[in-house]
């Protein structure tokens, strides 16, 4: 999609430090990006929301050939241009609506965009591009010129209010963003940490989420990370964070004009606005119409669920003799795909047994799966030197893999073990996506960095890791606070392969079966991998939920009562079905009141799923009716969780709501409630009465 550009020219004085800040405002005037220089001529910015300071004066600048372009900078003898995004000839306040996948089906780009021309010394002409949205800002650096230059990082910083509470994890770069989220006061974030008896500087892996002392939330990350090194945030003390590049510590070479990723600050008065922000994808380019003529809605870009062979048996799950068994169970549990994970390319797991041909076996499996409406996704390593797969570090290897996948009928690939966000690795990500799109293959990246809006430009990226997910449950326990933080930190910037949904007792650790099913709603992904043995789902009373639960949504709401790291109350809608999940991430009992009036649940009846007396068991209560006053009260003694199902009748042909019925085709709305130990939950609807429905 071409963006039209409307330019309003602001005449500036000749090159000189600017005495008054340049105010760059959002369409509604609520968010203001203030640009200025200090007494030393260093370029500064700050951000306010409704007059409240959110980012205090902080430095801007990119360091090129040992020169910090933000130092000794002058504005003037040029024009700052203000851009609006919309159809040709429209005013700036006309939004761009584009397809999206995950929390919602469409996203909105509505911003005021500015380009400020600057000069550093006599040699460097460069530009600062700023987009000011009604819920935050994005800015990036554009440096003109040709030839090869050396980028040594940035002086970009974020000065936070000192008493803000910051949520972060410290495993960026080679650690693949797999740290557990924790919190600290902004001015008390430690500068060093102990790892394997050694001290190392702390680097925060974005996104970082901020709770401001006077209310409201912020999120710091980056968008449109291409042809550049990935950014982490280095705390410098006194509530200041600075851009750092761990995987290119000594800088990197760059040919031609320099264009940095967007530095992003999302701002919201509540957690619902934070989770529903479109700012990051709005800063990314639309897909190439040559590769994606139908955009994100192409038929081959099909979301779905899949068993994962490695999560069940490790590399032994890739044994050839198991694969059709896996396909049969994938079909029986309502999965669209089977992920054949690590091991299949090695002779040890039987694909070459009895003279078998590797890709001939792959084609045989794809044919068998297609007859059962199941697609095959194959794992592959990225680095060289592993014993379970060759690497994909060369163009020739990528082309060979993707060509063979297409010929065999494979639907997608999972590419693993990048463990870096160096400029060279970032370029490899994009090349893999481009080449996979040519062969109409979905891509799931593992051992990956944070998402920065990639599915906007490359909709064949169906999910990625870059998160401490439930693979860790195989050998460890995830802190409850980590579950409670993720929806408002890592999950707020893009899809994640979290592997929710364990059922077997040995994997539940500090959770319960219904906590796990609620996690399927909260940690939803367009490609959702079930972590447990498929037979555990097939033999569970939760099988119908497993078969029916969506993986993409039309609408997502974060409900009042949600607290980062403590309580998650999230509603998601698919068609006329609402699923409302509640995670209590404390270890003690509590009482929670939910106001579900926004669901407009006129005519409802509930099915309540509870954890049973045995830890891995589940009880089901049908035909639970709210009292006449519209309330619902559930008291659970010594029970860890419950699942509440509410049915929504379909509209009658005349458009009004149908009367009460037992028709099993009626749609549903599900409420999953997890409370540790004993809890009482009060659900208040809009005078809901009606009908029990099952899929």
The residue among 413, 386, 417 whose CA lies nearest residue 399 is 413
> Does some domain include residue 438?
no
Q: How many angstroms separate the CA atoms of 202 and 219, rounded?
A: 19
- What token pair was written down for 526? 């367009």
590 — pLDDT class (breaks 50, 70, 90): confident
- What token pair was written down for 440? 């109409």
Q: How many angstroms separate the CA atoms of 394 and 637, rounded?
A: 59
pLDDT of residue 121: 85
Residue ending a domain, choose from 282, 313, 347:
282
- Give me the long-range contacts of 290-294 (CB less than 8 A, separation at least 24): 291/434, 291/437, 291/438, 292/437, 292/459, 292/460
> Does some domain include residue 255?
yes
pLDDT of residue 346: 83
> Does some domain include residue 552?
no
Q: Report which of residues 123 and 198 the model is more confident about.
A: 198
Give, rounded to a whole angstrom, the gap between the first and last alpha carbons of the chain.
Answer: 39
Q: Which whole number is the average pLDDT over 209-234?
A: 98
Percentage of residues in the chain having pLDDT higher than 90? 69
Q: How many angstroms separate the CA atoms of 629 and 232, rounded?
A: 52
Residue-wise pLDDT for 226-260, tens only, equals 999 999 999 999 999 999 999 999 999 999 999 99
Distance set, CA 183 to CA 169, 188, 246, 541 (Å):
9, 10, 22, 38
Q: Which whole number is the average pLDDT over 394-409?
A: 98
Inform me whether the pLDDT recorded for 79 exceeds 90.
Answer: no
pLDDT of residue 360: 96
Q: Report which of residues 263 and 544 the model is more confident about.
A: 263
112: β partners: 84, 132
Residue-wise pLDDT for 110-129, tens only, equals 999 899 999 998 778 899 99
> Does some domain include residue 58?
yes
How many other β-carbons are positioned within 10 Å of the β-carbon of residue 651? 11
622 — pLDDT class (breaks 50, 70, 90): low
Inform me whether the pLDDT recorded for 638 exceeds 60.
Answer: no
Residue-wise pLDDT for 3-51, tens only, equals 333 333 333 334 444 557 799 999 999 999 999 999 888 999 999 999 9
Q: Which whole number is the average pLDDT over 386-415?
A: 97
Inform me whether the pLDDT recorded for 216 exceeds 50.
Answer: yes
Residue ending a domain, choose from 248, 282, 316:
282
pLDDT of residue 649: 34
Q: Residues 337-371, buried b or exposed e (16+ Cβ, 10 A)?
A: bbbbbbbbbbeebbbeeeeeeeeebbbbbbeebee
How many other β-carbons are positioned within 10 Å of the β-carbon of residue 662? 11
> Does some domain include residue 346?
no
- What token pair was written down for 221? 């990350």
The average confidence (pLDDT) of the chain is 84
> Does some domain include residue 469?
no
> Does some domain include residue 122?
yes
Inform me whether the pLDDT recorded for 105 exceeds 50.
Answer: yes
> Does some domain include residue 287?
no
Average the pLDDT over each of 86-100, 380-394, 430-444, 566-580 and give the range with the smallest value: 86-100
Q: How many angstroms separate the CA atoms of 585 and 124, rounded?
A: 52
User: Quick check: pTM over 0.95?
Assistant: no
pLDDT of residue 669: 32
Q: How many angstroms separate the CA atoms of 15 and 13, rounded?
A: 6
DSSP class of residue 604 equals B
Query: What is the domain range of residue 604?
Result: 567-684
How many Å is the Cα radius of gyration of the chain?
Answer: 26
Residue ending a domain, choose from 259, 282, 305:
282
Q: How many angstroms separate the CA atoms of 55 and 39, rounded?
A: 19
Inform me whether the pLDDT recorded for 626 exceeds 70.
Answer: no
pLDDT of residue 189: 98
What DSSP line would sit under 397-437, residue for residue?
Answer: HHHHHHHHHHHHT--EEEEE------HHHHHHHHHHHHHHH
pLDDT of residue 291: 98
Residues 489 and 207: beta-carbon distance below 8 Å: yes
pLDDT of residue 604: 63
31-37/22-25 β-pairing: antiparallel
Could you give the number of structural domains in the chain? 2
Phi (first) and psi of residue 429, to 5 degrees:
-55, -50
Inform me whether the pLDDT recorded for 2 exceeds 80.
Answer: no
**CATH number of residue 98's parent domain:** 2.70.98.10
């Amino acid at each position: 999609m071409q963006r039209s550009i409307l330019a309003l020219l602001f005449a500036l004085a000749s090159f000189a430090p600017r005495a008054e800040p340049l105010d760059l405002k959002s369409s509604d005037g609520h968010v203001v990006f203030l640009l200025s220089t200090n007494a030393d001529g260093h370029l500064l910015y700050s951000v306010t929301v409704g007059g409240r300071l959110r980012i205090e004066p902080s430095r801007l600048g990119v360091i090129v050939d040992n020169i910090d372009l933000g130092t000794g900078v002058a504005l003037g003898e040029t024009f700052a241009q203000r851009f609006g995004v919309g159809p040709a000839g429209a005013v700036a306040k006309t939004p761009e609506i584009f397809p999206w996948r995950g929390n919602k089906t469409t996203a909105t780009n509505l911003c005021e965009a500015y380009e400020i021309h600057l000069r550093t010394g006599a040699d460097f002409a460069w530009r600062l591009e700023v987009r000011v949205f009604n819920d935050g800002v994005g800015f990036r650096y554009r440096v003109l010129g040709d030839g090869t230059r050396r980028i040594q990082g940035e002086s970009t910083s974020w000065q936070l209010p000192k008493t803000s509470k910051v949520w972060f994890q410290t495993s960026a770069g080679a650690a693949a963003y797999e740290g557990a989220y924790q919190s600290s006061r902004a001015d008390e974030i430690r500068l060093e940490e102990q790892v394997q008896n050694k001290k190392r500087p702390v680097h925060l892996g974005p996104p970082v989420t901020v709770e401001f002392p006077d209310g409201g939330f912020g999120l710091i990350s980056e968008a449109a990370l291409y042809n550049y090194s990935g950014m982490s945030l280095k705390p410098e003390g006194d509530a200041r964070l600075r851009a750092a590049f761990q995987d290119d510590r000594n800088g990197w070479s760059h040919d031609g004009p320099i264009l940095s990723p967007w530095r992003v600050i999302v701002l919201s008065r509540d957690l619902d606005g934070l989770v529903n922000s479109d700012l990051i994808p709005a800063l990314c380019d639309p897909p190439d119409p040559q590769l994606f003529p139908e955009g994100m809605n192409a038929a081959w870009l099909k979301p779905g669920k899949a068993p994962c062979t490695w999560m069940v048996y490790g590399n032994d799950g890739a044994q050839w003799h198991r694969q059709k068994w896996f396909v049969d169970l994938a079909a029986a549990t309502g999965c669209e795909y089977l992920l054949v994970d690590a091991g299949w390319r090695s002779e040890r797991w039987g694909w070459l047994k009895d003279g078998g041909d590797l890709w001939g076996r792959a084609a045989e499996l794809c044919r068998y799966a297609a007859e059962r409406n199941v697609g095959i996704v194959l794992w592959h390593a990225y680095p060289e030197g592993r014993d379970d797969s060759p690497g994909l570090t060369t163009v020739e290897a990528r082309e060979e893999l993707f060509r063979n996948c297409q010929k065999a009928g494979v639907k997608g690939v999972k590419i693993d073990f990048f463990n870096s966000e160096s400029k060279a690795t970032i370029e490899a990500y994009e090349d893999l996506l481009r080449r996979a799109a040519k062969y109409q293959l979905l891509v799931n990246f593992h051992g990956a960095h944070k998402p920065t809006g990639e599915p906007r430009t490359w909709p064949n990226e169906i999910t990625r890791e870059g998160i401490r997910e439930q693979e860790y449950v195989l050998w460890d326990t995830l802190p409850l606070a980590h579950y409670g933080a993720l929806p408002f930190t890592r999950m707020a910037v893009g899809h994640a392969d979290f592997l929710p949904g364990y059922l077997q007792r040995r994997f539940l650790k500090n959770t319960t079966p219904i906590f796990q099913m609620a996690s399927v709603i909260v940690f939803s992904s367009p490609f959702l991998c079930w972590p447990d043995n498929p037979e555990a789902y097939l033999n569970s009373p939760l099988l119908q939920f497993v078969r029916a639960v969506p993986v993409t949504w039309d609408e997502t709401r974060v409900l009042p009562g949600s607290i980062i790291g403590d309580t998650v109350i999230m509603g998601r809608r698919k068609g006329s079905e609402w699923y409302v999940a509640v995670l209590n991430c404390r270890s003690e009992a509590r009482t929670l009141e939910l106001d579900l009036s926004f669901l407009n649940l006129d005519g409802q009846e509930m099915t309540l799923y509870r954890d049973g007396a045995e830890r891995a068991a589940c009880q089901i209560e049908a035909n639970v009716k709210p009292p006449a006053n519209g309330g619902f009260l559930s008291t659970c003694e010594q029970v860890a969780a419950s699942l509440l199902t509410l049915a929504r009748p379909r509209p009658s042909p005349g458009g009004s709501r149908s009367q009460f019925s037992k028709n099993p085709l009626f749609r549903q709305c599900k409420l999953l409630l997890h409370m540790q130990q004993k809890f009482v939950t009060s659900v208040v609807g809009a005078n809901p009465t009606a009908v029990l429905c099952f899929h």
